Amino acid sequence: MDKVGNERFQRGDDFGWKLYLDNFLEDWTPPEYVAGTARRGLGREAVEGRVVQSIEASWEVSENNSMREHRPCYASVNDEVPTTYRLEEYGDFRPAGKLCTVVFLMPDYMPSSRYSLNRINMVDQGGNWNGATFTEEARDEAPQRIRVRTTNPDIEPPELDLNRMSVDAEPTNPEQPNGETIVTLSFRIRDSISGYTHGSIQFLDPQGVTHQVWAYDDEKGFVFPPSDPTRWKEYTVVHVLPPGSAPGTWGVSDMALYDRVHNFVHHDFTEVIHFTVD
């Protein structure tokens, strides 16, 4: 794949390359979830000068060698609110108890709901990974659930000011355009409680290929937004299309916006916002 999205696929019979590694410490065995050991509980965590509720998910792991040192455990939980996305976190492995532990912070802007542990993954030092899925259909086993009650739940996605958007495109070499173009997209967002964190923007070129760009809030790393999230905030995304980009009329086809709770909203601009690349 090149920088402008062109792709070429080749099969194994088009070339040949082989390497033999002689490693007497090889590890082919992935870590295994020990059935029936998934647990969840409520706790408290201190963050940014406040004490918040937390969900702790844990499970036992059977591993014949050693787990990866950095973030070897993963878990996702889901609430019962249809407009939110799942929560995902990484956690640590405790060799003494062969236990994976993942902590989810539950500030008061999180929805009051029952949260279900629906997916876990583990990876060992050799890069072997394995996981388990917990669903109503009990593919592995029934999900562990826990009820969380909060005082100020945020159930609304970020709001985009549809009347204050602009896009501008300028070639980097106007005298001899080669497709390299500076695209500047400006917009305003506000959120009801928890605060906008990031958005996904899709540019659609004349060949029908989409190009994704991310728009992050500069306060995304905070659990609690330092500034007032209910006030309109200006964002400017500057993206440089590489040389060789398809000439013609491009468009901003889609924007997906997320807040700290993972409330999200999609906006389709396929027929609305366009710009030209020379």
Q: Please tell me the distance from the alpha carbon of residue 80 to that of residue 113, in angstroms, as a whole number.
A: 6
Q: Please tell me the distance from the alpha carbon of residue 227 to that of residue 195, in angstroms, as a whole number.
A: 9
Residue 133's CB: how many other CB atoms inside 10 A? 15
Q: Is the dihedral of CA 91, 260, 49, 114 positive or negative?
A: negative
The first and second tokens of residue 124, run together, are 């060992």
Radius of gyration of the chain (CA): 23
Q: What pLDDT is recorded for position 278?
A: 80
pLDDT tens-digit profile, the chain (278 residues): 888 888 888 777 777 788 898 988 889 999 999 999 999 999 999 999 999 999 999 999 999 999 999 999 999 999 998 878 899 999 999 999 999 999 999 999 999 999 999 999 999 999 999 999 998 776 668 888 999 999 999 999 999 999 999 999 999 989 888 999 999 999 999 999 999 999 999 999 999 999 999 999 999 999 999 999 999 999 999 999 999 999 999 999 999 999 999 999 999 998 777 778 88
Q: Please tell me the distance from the alpha carbon of residue 88 to that of residue 103, in angstroms, as a whole number.
A: 10
Residue type, 52: V
Nearest to 67 by CA among 16, 126, 138, 117: 126
